[in-house]
Amino acid sequence: MSSIIVANGPLLAPFSIAFECYGTRVGVSTNEATILDSLPAHLPVKSKLIDASDLENKFTLLTNEVARSQEGTDTYSLYDGECLVLSTGDLAVALKQLSRELDAVVALEASPWVFVHAGVVGWQAGAIVIPGRSMTGKTSLVAALVKAGATYYSDEYAVFDRQGYVHAFPKPLHFRTGQRGEPEKISAEQLGGRIGTTALPVTLLVSTCYEAQARWRPELIEPGQAVLRLFDNTVDALRRPEGAIEIFARAVSGCVAISGPRPSSEQVAPLLLALCDRIHHDTSAEGSKLQGGLDLDSLSLSTPNEWRSP
Amino acid sequence: MTYKPKVRRDELTIREVGQELVLYDARHQCAHRLNKAAAPILQASDGTRTVDQIALLLSQDLDIKERSELVWMTLQDLSQADLLTAAIIPPGNSDRTRRNLLHKAAMIGLALPVVESVIAQSAKAHASDPKGHWDHSDHRRWHDRHDWNDRHDH
């Protein structure tokens, strides 16, 4: 990946790059050539550098915008358009915030894709989608699924296209460790997994959250409920609500959706993969989608303790 | 009773999802899901049928009085969600009748009409949600966009 230097850019921040990710075009400028070189590593996954100046979204990272601090150390100011986001003496903090800002703007502005807060893995040519906000245990469940052999798509966003297929947004998994929840990033490869590259139809939608004392007794939910769960976790549902519902309706048209609190990820992950196997097996045996054709008894979901991973 | 319920059509998008309906109400910025028992009641509420006529379209497992009550129950939910052209006043004793109906439905395994709603979450709402994770970045952009809209709407 090579950087694009705009020599005749604004006086304050003459060095800039532009990228496109899921249809969103963003520019990042700085007044330090050395910072410019480090920017590509902080762009959203699947970004492509582009040569463009007419950008709707512009970020600027300035060094010593006014003057050095009294201690004589450098200061860094991050702007979203003309709005100051952050001022810090730590370049790593500024770059980390920039990375979050760029992910956020892509998730908000992406078109025609719809971003949903969800964990996603691939299994047997289908996706397992786990919608939910942060702190509901998405990352740990995704990690357990990847360790169990699933393909990693995302621990943060399910990216839906117009047909309702899910695309990867494979940032490193973002764990919170320790009592204060310090962030720790781990790649799918470190977990022994691999990253998905193709768009997948949704096989299984799992609406769940971790509860220490929970027993795994999920219930089947109706397709309309599944649409509502996705809609409730859409990054900005007010932006294109009707379009999002249309996409979600397509996405759930061929999937099984379940809901319920869960115990540890390690206990549940193999059961979810076994359930997907069963869905695939039954679907191919019947030669048709199972939408609305499954009941709890046929899946033995009401007696989860009898389940054993294959 | 000659009341003919009519579902509001303006600022409302209706999408069939399997046997259910998912609605988006742009007026109140919320989505509704009607299960397969409630969906035909909404679809029949086009201002041309009375409650009893709509009741005739429902499951034969209940007698006509019970079916009418089922329609009233659903219409109440639709009215509370402001999905009807006019608010309704249900007939008296509805609580008691509803309890009896719930009991009977449970006995015969009949699905009752369900209207479930969620408010469309803006990025701002996600940011202020304790389980939201975007802190201020999406919050600020939401503000920017809506400030911009406010400035340009007037």
Q: Give the domain CATH number at A149.
A: 3.40.50.300
Q: How far apart are CA B65 and CA A130, in angstroms?
A: 43
B141 with A108: Cβ contact below 8 A: yes
Same domain as A283, residue A140: yes
**Residue B20 belongs to some domain of the structure:** yes
* Number of domains present in the structure of chain A: 2
The answer to whether residue A6 is domain-embedded is: no
Beta-carbon separation of A242 and B24 below 8 A: yes
Domain shared by A217 and A300, yes or no? yes
Measured between beta carbons, the chain B residues lying within 8 angstroms of A231 are: 31, 118, 120
Q: Do B79 and B128 belong to one domain?
A: no
- A78 bridge partner residues: A61, A86
CA of B24: how far to CAs of A147, A252, B21, in Å?
Answer: 39, 17, 10
B79 CA to centre of own chain: 8
Residues A123 and A70 in one domain: no
Same-domain pairing of B138 and B62: no
CA atoms of A255 and B17, how far apart (whole Å)? 12
Q: Are A170 and A250 contained in the same domain?
A: yes
Select from A263, A244, A265, A258 the least CA-distant residue to A302. A258
- Per-residue confidence (pLDDT) for residue A265, from 0 to 100: 94
Asked if residue B3 is part of any domain, the answer here is no
Which residue among A133, A236, A249 places its CB closest to the CB of B15? A249
Domain boundary pick from A54, A77, A109: A109
- Domain containing A75 equals 15-109
Tokens found for residue A179: 């009592």
- Give the 3-state secondary structure of residue A166: strand
> Among A149, A155, A148, A150, which residue's Cα sits nearest to residue A187?
A155
Q: How much is the pLDDT for B92?
A: 67
For residues A96 and A39, state if they share a domain: yes
CB pairs under 8 A between A and B: 114
Range of the domain at B100: 12-119
Q: Which residue of A has its CA nearest to B24?
A: A242
**Option in A133, A231, A241 nearest B131 (CB):** A133
Q: Say if A178 falls within a structural domain.
A: yes
Pair (B28, B47) in one structural domain: yes
Taking only the tens place, the pLDDT of each residue in A137-169 is 899 999 999 999 999 999 999 999 999 999 999
- Residues in chain B closer than 8 A to A83 (CB atoms): 140, 144
How confident is the prediction along chain A (310 residues), in pLDDT tens digits per residue?
A: 333 444 334 557 889 999 999 999 999 999 999 999 999 999 999 999 999 878 889 999 999 876 555 667 789 999 999 899 999 999 999 999 999 999 999 999 988 899 999 999 999 999 999 999 878 889 999 999 999 999 999 999 999 999 999 999 999 998 887 666 677 889 999 999 999 999 999 999 999 999 988 889 999 999 999 999 999 999 988 888 999 999 999 999 989 999 999 999 999 999 999 999 999 887 776 544 444 444 434 444 443 333 333 3
Residue B5 included in any domain: no
pLDDT tens, residue by residue, B28-42: 999 999 999 999 999
Interface of A with B in 171-190 (CB under 8 A): none
pLDDT digits (tens, 9 = 90+) for A265-292: 999 999 999 999 999 887 776 544 444 4
Residue A282 lies in a domain: yes
Asked if B74 and B96 sit in the same domain, the reply is yes
Contact check, Cβ <8 Å, A241/B31: yes
- A149 plus A165 within the same structural domain: yes
pLDDT at B3 over 60: yes
From the CA of A308, how many Å to the nearest CA of chain B? 31
Cα(B131)–Cα(B121) distance, rounded to whole angstroms? 13
A88/A217 same-domain check = no
Confidence (pLDDT) at A12: 79
- Helices within chain A (DSSP H only): 33-38, 91-109, 138-147, 223-232, 241-252, 265-286, 296-299
A220 with A248, same domain: the answer is yes
Within-domain flag for A8: no
Alpha-carbon gap: B140 to the closest alpha carbon of chain A (Å):
9
Q: Could you tell me if A149 and A285 lie in one domain?
A: yes
Q: How many helices (H) and strands (E) does chain A have?
A: 7, 16
User: Quick one: B30 and B68 in the same domain?
Assistant: yes
Question: Which of A85, A109, A133 is where one domain is finished?
Answer: A109
In a shared domain, residues B132 and B108:
no
- B130 with B114, same domain? no
Alpha-carbon distance A60 to nearest alpha carbon in chain B (angstroms) = 14
Q: Is residue A232 a part of any domain in this protein?
A: yes
Same domain assignment for residues A160 and A263:
yes
Q: What is the structure's pLDDT at A165?
A: 98
Q: Are residues B35 and A291, on separate chains, in Cβ contact within 8 Å?
A: no
Residue range B107-154, pLDDT digits in tens: 887 888 899 999 997 766 665 554 433 334 444 444 443 343 333 333
Q: What is the distance between the alpha carbons of residues B67 and B88, in angstroms, rounded to a whole number?
A: 17
> What is the count of structural domains for chain B?
2
- Name the pTM for this structure: 0.83
Residue written as tokens 């979450």? Answer: B121
**In terms of domains, do A120 and A225 share one?**
yes
A chain contacts of residue B109, beta-carbon cutoff 8 Å:
none
Q: B68 and B23: one domain?
A: yes
The answer to whether residue A243 neighbours chain B at the CB level (below 8 Å) is no
Q: A114-123 and B115-119: which strand pairing?
A: unpaired
Quick check: is A86 in a domain? yes
Q: Which of B17, B29, B140 is the closest to A224 by Cβ?
A: B17
In chain A, the residue whose alpha carbon lies closest to the alpha carbon of B122 is: A236
Nearest to B121 among A134, A237, A242 (CB): A237
Length of chain B: 154
CB of B88 within 8 A of CB of B18?
no
Distance CA A109, CA A239 (A): 9
- Confidence label for B102 from pLDDT (cuts 50, 70 and 90): confident
Is the separation of the CB atoms in B30 and B118 below 8 Å?
Answer: yes
Query: Could you tell me if B36 lies within 8 Å of chain A, comparing CB atoms?
Result: yes
| CA-based nearest distance B144→chain A, Å | 9
- Same domain? B28 vs B104: yes
Tell whether A58 and A198 lie within a shared domain: no
